[in-house]
Homo-oligomer: A and B are copies of this chain.
């Protein structure tokens, strides 16, 4: 298993997709990997990710006060969410990498950058209870 050694900067969504598909096949788990089963599994992992942050109050960027063990645990939960997301996309026939690049471009059209920083009103406006559904690029 050369996974960790193969250069993490080049980890593609496609590599993860292949590994997940192979993993399921080798264990005869394909039968369980229906779209809604995987979606609920994803929700379960998001719950575990939230539990890590639940009693902490605001947490500064970079997690300066967290120990190594805790950061490792966080990495595992973030990965669990990612791996189910990759698997769910695959089972639904969605090219996640392609979709993500396209979404970034759509977001760039919706929130143009510029000297007026107009787009920051996105966040300001959120204070009035309106919804904002887009990831920000």
State how many copies of this chain the complex holds: 4
* Count of chain A residues with a beta carbon within 8 Å of a chain B beta carbon: 107
Main secondary structure of the interface of A (DSSP, over half): helix
A52 vs chain B, min Cβ distance (A): 7
Interface set of A (CB-CB < 8 Å, partner B): 1, 3-4, 6, 8-14, 16, 19-20, 23-24, 26-29, 32-37, 39-63, 67, 69-76, 78-85, 87-89, 91-108, 111, 113, 117, 119-120, 122-123, 126-129, 131-137
Establish whether residues B105 and A70, one from each chain, have CB atoms under 8 Å apart when the complex forms: no
Instruction: List 12 A-B pairs, Cβ < 8 Å.
Output: A3-B104, A9-B12, A23-B136, A27-B111, A27-B136, A39-B53, A40-B50, A45-B135, A51-B133, A54-B132, A82-B82, A85-B85
